[in-house]
Amino acid sequence: MSGPETKRVLLAKPRGYCAGVDRAVEAVEQALEKHGAPVYVRKQIVHNVHVVQTLSDRGAIFVDETDEVPPGSIVVFSAHGVSPAVRDQAKDRELRTIDATCPLVTKVHGEVKRFAREDYDILLVGHRGHEEVEGTSGEAPANVQLVDSVADVASVTVRDPEKVVWLSQTTLSVDETMQTVHALRERFPTLQNPPSDDICYATQNRQVAVKAMAPQCDLVLVVGSANSSNSVRLVEVALAAGAGASYLIDYARQIDDSWLDGVRTVGVTSGASVPEVLVRGVLDHLAERGWGEVEEITTAEETLTFALPRELRPNRVAR
Ligand code: 10G
Ligand code: SF4
């Protein structure tokens, strides 16, 4: 039984791989199996150092742009999605493409296309420079304005304040996004909401789980890479929800012993692009230092799965 002095770990559930990441990583693995190495991947398939290294070791070649891919080769588009311009470039180079864009990102692309067709001004809440918003805005650059934070709201200009909709990146902080939307609505009272949540189920569920455990935690360790938006958000959410401290780590070996000084309860979670083996590494590291008692804090059960990209389904060839 745990007394007030007992060292313990609270382990958030859900954590780790979402359905879109699982599908994208599997897509690269299957492409390697089906077509042999090398298989090119535009950008990181998902934003995780370990995943990218593991797939590189198996013969995937990660490139920044399709002009680095030899004509006729296979290229996988990452889970974060691509703009139509990128698809066109790949076609011009006669690349055989496998599209690992998460279906929930494709859904947002569809919303952008639909509102652009109806000539709305689209305010896309998201992080400047992130691959997902580059792909999404690329669907209708003339109609889309990026709103990175509340600070951007004052400089937004629209043609008709009655015809404005906000959409968003899938991996944002729910609370922060709502603050931005609130500020936008003060300027544009008839601002329309997205037809359905753009911040995806996995992002939301991981934030709810970390919020549930953070108030009891002296320290929250989030396993995830520095360029992983949803993982970085989990650190921010943990701190906002009352964690004593919170750090993002790729590997257990990055845990600084000083972080554990005076700590009783350590929360552990991981971003949507993080394989469970890395979380196991963190739990083993903590157990070796006296935090062997682990209690899972479950706030949702996830069952969603996506079929592989159509180019990898049986009887299909990559074109
Ligand atoms: O959180 P971001 O968008 O940076 O990506 P990630 O690869 O770390 O996690 C999975 C999320 C996506 C593929 C974006 S939809
Ligand atoms: Fe899809 Fe959400 Fe995962 Fe992104 S975070 S890949 S939108 S399920």
Per-residue pLDDT of the chain (319 residues; tens, 9 = 90+): 455 579 999 999 999 999 999 999 999 999 999 999 999 999 999 999 999 999 999 999 999 999 999 999 999 999 999 999 999 999 999 999 999 999 999 999 999 999 999 999 999 999 999 999 999 999 999 999 999 999 999 999 999 999 999 999 999 999 999 999 999 999 999 999 999 999 999 999 999 999 999 999 999 999 999 999 999 999 999 999 999 999 999 999 999 999 999 999 999 999 999 999 999 999 999 999 999 999 999 999 999 999 999 999 986 555 5
Distance 146 CA to ligand 2 centre (A): 20
DSSP state of 258: G
Domain count, the chain: 3
Outline where the chain has alpha helix (H). Answer: 19-35, 49-57, 84-92, 103-117, 131-137, 150-153, 174-187, 201-213, 229-240, 276-288
Ligand nearest the Cα atom of residue 133: 1
Q: Which ligand is nearest to the CA of 19?
A: 2
Q: How far apart are CA 39 and CA 113, in angstroms?
A: 30
Q: Residue 314: its pLDDT value, please?
A: 82
Atom 8 of ligand 2, residue of closest alpha carbon = 20
Q: Are residues 221 and 271 in the same domain?
A: yes
Q: Ligand 1 test: best mutation among 18, 28, 46, most atoms within 8 Å of CB?
A: 46
Cα–Cα distance measured from residue 200 to residue 104, given in angstroms and rounded to the nearest whole number: 7
Dihedral of CA atoms 279, 280, 284, 285 in degrees, nearest 10, equals -30
pLDDT of residue 56: 98
Of the residues 132, 134, 139, 311, only one is catalytic, namely: 132
Q: Tell whether 180 and 209 lie within a shared domain.
A: no
Spell out the SS3 assignment of 127-140: CCCCHHHHHHHCCC
Task: Kindly state whether residues 78 and 149 are assigned to the same domain.
Answer: no
Binding residue positions for dimethylallyl diphosphate:
47, 80, 130, 228-230, 273
CA of 41 to the centre of ligand 2 (A): 18
Residue 69 lies in a domain: yes
Where among 67, 102, 137 does a domain terminate?
A: 102
Ligand 1 pocket check for 109: Cβ under 6 Å: no
> What mean pLDDT value characterizes the chain?
96
Assess whether the C-beta atom of 171 lies below 6 angstroms from ligand 1. yes
Mark whether 132 is an active-site residue.
Answer: yes
Q: How far is the CA of 4 from the centre of ligand 2 (A)?
A: 38
Distance CA 42, CA 255 (A): 31
Q: Which atom of ligand 2 is nearest to the CA of 104?
A: 7
Q: Tell me, what's the pLDDT at 3? A: 54
Instruction: Please check whether residue 247 lies inside any domain of the structure.
Output: yes
Q: Specify whether the CB–CB gap between 274 and 18 falls below 8 A.
A: no
Return the CATH number at 210: 3.40.1010.20
Q: Is 48 in the pocket of ligand 2 (CB under 6 A)?
A: no
| 136 pocket-lining for ligand 1 (C-beta < 6 Å) | no
pLDDT recorded at residue 1: 47
Instruction: Tell whether ligand 2 has an atom less than 6 A from the beta carbon of residue 105.
Output: yes
Q: Tell me whether residue 192 is in a domain.
A: no
Closest CA to 286 of 58, 49, 9, 21: 9
Q: Is residue 35 part of a domain?
A: yes
| CA dihedral for 211, 212, 215, 221, sign (positive or negative) | negative
Ligand 2, closest atom to CA 171?
A: 5
Q: Which domain holds residue 159?
A: 104-187
131 and 143 co-located in one domain: yes
AA letter at 149: S
CATH number at residue 31: 3.40.50.11270
Instruction: Say yes or no: 98 and 126 in one domain.
Output: no
For ligand 1, atom 8, which residue shows the shortest CA distance?
228
Among residues 87, 102, 117, the one where a domain terminates is 102
